[in-house]
Structure 1
Amino acid sequence: MTAKEAVPVRENEPANDDASVIQPIGFTPAQVSSGGNKLLLSPKAIAVVASLCFGALMLVYLLVARSLIFETQPADADVSVSGFALRLGDGHLVLPGSYRYTVSATGYLPQSGEVEISSDSNSRHAVKLERLPGHLQVITEPAVPVRILVNGAEVDSSEGLAQSIPAGRKRITVLTERYLPFSKEVEIEGLDNTQTLTASLRPAWANVHITSNPAGATVSVEGKILGTTPLTAELVQGDRVVDISLPDHKTVQIPVPVTAGVDQTLQTVDLAAADGTLRVVSNPPGASITVNGEYRGQAPMDVALASNRRHQLRFFLDGYRSVEHTVDVRAGDLRDLNVDLTAVFGDVTITSSPPEAQVFIDGRLAGIAGETFTLPTRSHTITVRKAGYEDYQTTIVPSSKLKQSVRAILLTGEQARWSNVPAEITHGAGGKMLLMRPSSEFTMGSSRREQGRQANEVLRKISLTRPFYIGTTEVTNREYRRYQRMHSSSHTNGVSLDNDSLPVVNISWNDAALFCNWLSARDGLKEVYRTERGRVVGFDGSANGYRMPTEAEWAWAARYERGAMRKFPWGNALPVGKNSGNYADSSAGQIVPAVLRTYNDNYAATAPVGSFGPNHLGLFDMGGNVSEWIHDLYTIGTGLSTRAEENPVGPQEGDYHVVRGSSWRHAGLTELRLSYRDYGAEARDDVGFRVARWVN
């Protein structure tokens, strides 16, 4: 009872003085722990506030978060996402940012990755899991060890179980000895499951019956002994070689094509007696051996001989007398035969020019030229050597019945080099060319006092030393048309200039130069003339290809003879010699205004090249027939110099080129002279050309 409580008074109860007085009692306030705070909100209020805050946060999360959905194969794959990701239906609700994920399913390889979630849109990803490899258990009927191939490649297997085969459709091949291959398409389901494949195997062999005479021979195939004859053997299909052997008899090999399931009986094999062996040694070694006329080899060697018959053996070696032996052997015998050969000699006399050269025989110094040497009658290499000269070398086989001789003509280095250069060649268009090796100084042109001389025939001192080839004839229509198939030399006053054997005409100097370049390329030589857009703009004086003769070369080839210069093609005086060449004769009277009335060459215009005799060097038509384009550009000299021009080739630039030699149109004294010079650039019906080339 507290101080504020009163004691109830019952009715009709006598008053009590003590009871009517309210007496205070002692009061002790409740104790509160020091430092404590009094709660402002009740627990219920706090719970409400927390719920509101959580709801607000969830609202913000729902407004900001984006959905992340994975479309997986298989569809029931488990998806885990790193960080705070709220699973929502088939996907997750996540805040923008980077997340790692892992997709896994039973029987599949897990797949992990990383996705970036933006604040702009939701994210959807497709993930296809790869099935785990499967396993294949092969069961064969009958049960035999097997090898297993998957898509043609052998895989590891144990007792018919091939593990870890990638899922998918596979060609399974089962191989085993003595059975045909078994092959089948199988869908490997993977998922770490094991499938079963039953393979019914068919035999791959056939029965082959083998007999021999005599019987009891050993039969083997590929080194494996199968038994003795008569024998029925199981041979695996394919091309087999059956060996049948018997002591003291020759082993017989029989090719047997075997087809599975097709039995066969071979024809009885007759076994011949074995060969005997003759071990042959010759002195000296290396003797050739023939047996009954058949070459067998060189001693020392083992010679197999058919047993129980006689054989004729012959031994021969260069420089030795042949030896013959008659031999017979028994089956399986091994005998030795030693053969001594007797040397045979012959005499060889060796001389040289110049004399007293050293003589080497088979690489060894044997003596001095002029001696007679006694040599074995076999092939010997003879070398004759003298200082300042190239070696002379030949081979000889001396004879015991005939004395032989060798005369060595020794050449200097220069002579030896030129001996390997052909004196005549044929170029790719078919024309012949002769080698010229001038070493001359001469005067080109003519004296002012010479009758018929022109002002452009200025005297020039020339030194010509560079070797060259020059065409024996002028280039023909046939040869030129190998370069320009449609070219026509046309005609003059109805007389044809276009026959194959006639010299080509109606071509410019540029046309002739381009023909030379074409011929050089055809024959694999360096082109002489430099061109731009089909026009010649210069030349290469070091090139070895075809060109036209230089003026100095032409003048030397036409005029120079024994230190003097010819005046006319036929000599040094008029009249024109008979059959000297093709000039403007009486037969050309209807074509040209001036002719040689007392001369007739029977050709009104051009003549076939080579119709008249060659000059002293073997060159045709150096005068007459057609005039010729020359390599050099046209210039007129200033007079005779005290110093000779060495191998001149003319300038690199100019408008016109030199023309040399008379033609079928010429009958005048001026043109018939070999010193006559003309010039031009354009085509004419009486100008052709011949080819030349330097020899480097």
Structure 2
Amino acid sequence: MAVKEAVPAQDEKSAIDDSPLIEPIGFTPVQINSTRTRLFFTKRALMVAACLLLSLLVLIYLVIARSLIFETQPNNAEISISGFALPLGDGHLVLPGNYSYTISADGYLSKSGEVEVSSDGHSRHTVTLEKLPGHLQVETDPSVPVKVLINGSEVPNKNGLVENLSPGGLRVTVLSDRYLPFTREIKIEGLDNTYRLAANLRPAWANIRISSNPPGATVSANGKVLGTTPLNTELVQGDRVVSISLPEHKTVDVPVAVTAGVDQTLPTVNLGPADGLLRVVTTPEGAGVTVDGEFRGHTPLELELTSGKIHRLRFFKDGYASIEHTVDLSAGMERDLNVNLNAVYGRVYVTSVPSDAEVYIDGQYAGKSGQTFNLPAKSHNIEVRKNGYKAFDTKVIPSAKLEQTVRAVLLTREQARWQQVPSSYRHGAGGTMKLMRPNAVFTMGSSRREQGRRANEVMRQVSLNRPFYIGATEVTNREFRRFKRMHTSRHVNGVSLDNDNLPVVSISWIDAALFCNWLSDRDGLAPVYLTERGRIVGFDSAADGYRLPTEAEWAWLARYDKGTMRKYPWGNELPIGANSGNYADSHAAKLVPAVLRTYSDRYAATAPVGSYSPNPLGIYDLGGNVSEWIHDLYTIGTGLSSRLEENPVGPQDGDYHVIRGSSWRHSGLTELRLSYRDYGEGPRNDIGFRVARWIN
């Protein structure tokens, strides 16, 4: 218990004096608002109100909003939607309206679009993304420049990289000089990924040993010098030709079939002495030259002659006496030979009905008819004219041994009215006939020096001056079936030959001749072919009905071009001109063994008649499409004959008939020439015919 210490009275008084005074202060009563108003504006009340409003908005959104779902391929694609979209499960919750979207994924092309979300229901869409292209990297062993083929077509590559390939299976072929092709089947994934293809290339060459006697000869192939014999060299596989040459010796071309990896030693090549060279000039120029009976051309001429042998040369020219020389040249020797030809004259007596007509020889006025003219022994054009009459025109070759007579019977204009016959018309089966009025002397056959020549192409001098009609196109299946309703030209390896506008094939020569007689009867003309019990036993050359063209007519039609004679249907030079005809091109590779790789005629077998350009006389398909049956019996002449054959119709006897012209099966140099001749009797799938008739 505390004990309070006693304080003196004086000290107590002093303490009281020092204490502050307590004074009253002013008082203002506090105005008190209502509790309800104070609670409404509190921070807590405002937060509660905001939450209630937000909840209300969310509730309204959930009631109005609709789901928008995208099903994507790939299923991991990213989806971007314009505007407010609330992710929900595998979709989005959006208000009704139009939305833009973008869907993307690694390795795929992005896809964008617009969708409309209606208030009626939910919206579901399926979107498939397209894979990005893939790439191919070809890596070769050994490392060499390559060409890359995709499914057979070359594609650009940079150091073996081929970019932007569509996903899927591909056949890749790798090509490189001097290596065998490498082929693999691969699958490109796409997705901008690169497929790496390792290609082990195998050599495409073989070692070839070449020797010659004498040695030291130069060896070349494809224009490139490989070295001198004896020689070991590499040749790329395939059919090769090696040329072996040595001065003063004949060059020898050796065919070599090279197989990759198979080495060969060729037999020793014996090089014979070189030919001699004889330069021949005649006065006048243009003389024909034969060497040991073989025609070699016209002067001036360079002749390569076998050395160490005596050769017999003969020179001849119309209007001049022929001359013979003998020549012997040593190996590599060159010599000039000048020959003067002596002119030869013949007598030609010209008479006319009516008399006193004017005679023109080679276009120059020569005098009145009834005279004898002394002319050089060469071909001359003799024209006899008189006012009011049609001029008489003929060709004659005078002879020094025999006087010739030209009797010109002049026709009046009325008598010449046959010229009013139409230039073309359609026959009863539907084909078009064109009028031909030849007045030509030309050479049938070909020179022995012509590349591709066959032995049956003996040269013949022919005069063709009898007018005739000729079918502008070959007879079609439609036309022939008017004669034989059930005929079929069949097909070849599934390619039809039987369409209406294709040339008729699979018919014999007799079938073609009987069609001509049927057509003559249909058009009210005298039949040409004489028959007994369905067999052809002869023909009537005076009849005006339908027939097959003679060989001379066909040769003139096919080769005549503004006074000259063509070598090929398109002209005189290779390569084949565009749209020249239907031959064995790349389209026919599955049907025939050999084709023209650089030419396209658009058809595997026969083509519709008239599909290509006509020749200068307006006739179609004399080269290509189908070969053609000819009126003439088949024979082979002998030697070069100076006898002029006028309007020949073929020999009297024979077992076969002539076939002229190439067909859709032909691609060789021999068959493509217009001088090419064949023969037969029975049907083939590349032989047809066209019709002709004489004008009487």
Matched residues in 2 for 1:521 and 1:120: separation?
84
Match of 1:390 in 2: 390
Per the alignment, residue 352 of structure 1 pairs with: 352
| Secondary structure of the structure 2 residue equivalent to 1:267 | coil
SS in structure 2 at match of 1:180: strand
Contiguous gaps of at least 5 residues in structure 2: 1-14, 32-37, 422-426, 429-481, 484-517, 526-544, 546-694
- What is residue 243 of structure 1 aligned with on the other side? 243
Shift of 1:189: 2.1
Q: Which residue of 2 aligns with 1:96?
A: 96
Q: Deviations over 1:232-268 (max 9, x none)?
A: 2222211111111112222111111112222222221
2:416 aligned with 1:416: yes
Supply the AA of the counterpart residue of 1:60. Answer: I
How far off its partner does 1:27 sit? 11
The whole-number CA distance in structure 2 between the counterparts of 1:252 and 1:359 is: 59
The AA in structure 1 aligned to 2:197 is L
Check 1:390–1:134 CA distance in 2 against 1; reply closer, same or farther (3 A cut).
Answer: same
- Counterpart residue number, 2:265: 265
Question: Is the radius of gyration larger for structure 1 or structure 2?
Answer: 1
Return the alpha-carbon distance in structure 2 between the equivalents of residues 42 and 328 of structure 1: 140
User: Residue 177 of structure 1: CA displacement?
Assistant: 2.0
Cα distance in 2 for residues equivalent to 1:420 and 1:200: 77
The answer to which of 342-351 and 113-122 deviates more is 113-122
Q: Which amino acid aligns with 2:276?
A: G
CA drift of 1:312 comes to: 1.6
Decide whether aligned partners of structure 1 residues 246 and 28 sit closer, same or farther in structure 2, where only a CA change above 3 A counts: farther
- Residue by residue over 1:25-60, the C-alpha shift from the partner in whole angstroms, topping out at 9 and shown as x without a partner, is 79999xxxxxxxx99734433333333333333323
2:226 corresponds in structure 1 to 226
CA gap of 1:323–1:420, structure 2 versus 1, over 3 A, is farther
Give the distance between the partners of 2:237 and 2:520, measured in 1 at CA: 65
TM-score computed with the length of structure 1 as normaliser: 0.54
CA distance in 2, matches of 1:134, 1:54: 52
Report what 1:75 is aligned to: 75
Compute the displacement of 1:344 (Å).
Answer: 0.7
Distance 1:387 1:146, change over 3 A: same
Provide the residue aligned with 1:329 in structure 2. Answer: 329
The superposition leaves residues 584-622 of structure 1 with CA deviations (integer Å, 9 ceiling, x where unpaired) of xxxxxxxxxxxxxxxxxxxxxxxxxxxxxxxxxxxxxxx
Of residues 8, 24, 27, the one that matches 2:26 is 24
The question of whether the paired residues in 1 share the 8 Å contact of 2:148 and 2:173 is answered with yes
CA change 1:222–1:418 in 2 (3 A) is closer
Higher alpha-carbon deviation: 383-392 or 170-179: 170-179
- Matched to 2:183, the amino acid is S
Using the aligned pairs only, state the percent identity.
61
The 2-side partners of 1:378 and 1:171 are apart by 69
Q: Distance in 2 between matches of 1:26 and 1:92?
A: 64
Distance 1:167 1:362 in 2: 78
Q: Partners of 2:55 and 2:521 in 1: how far apart?
A: 97
Match of 1:130 in 2: 130
Task: Give the Cα separation in 2 of the matches to 1:201 and 1:390.
Answer: 80
Alignment partner of 1:93: what SS?
Answer: strand
The verdict on how the C-alpha distance between 1:57 and 1:326 changes in structure 2, with shifts beyond 3 A counting, is same
Give the Cα–Cα distance (whole angstroms) in 1 for the partners of residues 85 and 330 of structure 2: 101
Q: Which residue of 1 aligns with 2:209?
A: 209
Q: Secondary structure of the equivalent of 1:366?
A: strand
Kindly tell me: are residues 20 and 224 of structure 1, through their superposed partners in 2, closer, same or farther at Cα, counting changes over 3 Å? closer
| Structure-1 separation of matches of 2:62 and 2:521 | 87
Relative to structure 1, is the Cα distance of residues 147 and 407 closer, same or farther in structure 2, using a 3 angstrom cutoff?
closer
Q: Which amino acid aligns with 2:101?
A: Y
Q: Distance in 2 between matches of 1:371 and 1:246?
A: 64
Cα 1:335/1:86, change in 2 over 3 Å: farther
Letter in 1 for 2:26: P
What is the alpha-carbon distance in structure 1 between the residues aligned to residue 173 and residue 524 of structure 2? 60
Post-superposition shift, 1:389?
0.8
Q: Matched residues in 2 for 1:524 and 1:102: separation?
A: 82
Partner of 1:296: 296
Hey, what's the Cα distance between the residues in 1 that align with 2:53 and 2:392? 121
Q: Describe the SS at the equivalent of 1:393.
A: strand
In 1, Cα distance between equivalents of 2:220 and 2:204: 19
Match of 1:61? Answer: 61
Q: Secondary structure at the match of 1:48?
A: helix
Preserved CA contact (<8 Å) 2:39 2:45: no
Which residue of 2 is the match for residue 279 of structure 1? 279
2:209 touches 2:232 (CA, 8 Å); kept in 1? yes
Q: Deviations over 1:631-688 (max 9, x none)?
A: xxxxxxxxxxxxxxxxxxxxxxxxxxxxxxxxxxxxxxxxxxxxxxxxxxxxxxxxxx
Which residue in 1 is equivalent to 2:340? 340
State how far apart, in whole Å, the 2-side matches of 1:521 and 1:326 are. Answer: 61
Aligned to 1:177: 177
Q: In structure 2, what residue type is equivalent to 1:362?
A: D
SS of the residue corresponding to residue 414 of structure 1 reads: coil
Distance in 2 separating the partners of 1:23 and 1:129: 88
Cα gap change, 1:331 to 1:123, in 2 (>3 Å): farther
Deviations 1:100-140 (A, max 9, x none): 22111112222222223233332222222222222333332
Q: Secondary structure at the match of 1:63?
A: helix
- 8 Å contact kept, 2:319–2:378: yes
Summarize deviations over 1:438-495 as a string: whole Å, max 9, x none.
xxxxxxxxxxxxxxxxxxxxxxxxxxxxxxxxxxxxxxxxxxxx99xxxxxxxxxxxx
Structure-1 separation of matches of 2:88 and 2:521: 85
Please report the RMSD computed on the Cα atoms of aligned residues, expressed in angstroms: 3.6
* Cα shift at 1:23: 4.8
In 2: Cα distance, 1:319 partner to 1:177 partner: 61
Change in CA separation of 1:284 and 1:98 when aligned onto 2, cut-off 3 Å: farther
How far apart are 1:20 and its partner, in Å?
A: 8.8
C-alpha distance in 1 between matches for 2:520 and 2:244: 69
Partner of 2:373: 373
Deviation of the 1:375 alpha carbon: 0.6
Shift of 1:182: 1.4
Determine helix, strand or coil for the equivalent of 2:320: coil
What is the alpha-carbon distance in structure 2 between the residues aligned to residue 219 and residue 324 of structure 1? 40
Alignment correspondent of 1:167: 167
Equivalent position of 1:151 in the other structure? 151
Pair 1:146–1:404, CA change in 2 (3 A): closer
* Structure 2 match to 1:656: none
**Contact 2:208 2:235 survives alignment (8 Å):** yes
Deviations 1:281-329 (A, max 9, x none): 2222211011111100111222211223322211100111112222233
Q: Which amino acid aligns with 2:242?
A: V
CA distance in 2, matches of 1:415, 1:354: 14
- Structure 1, unaligned stretches of length 5 or more? 1-12, 30-37, 422-426, 429-481, 484-517, 526-544, 546-694
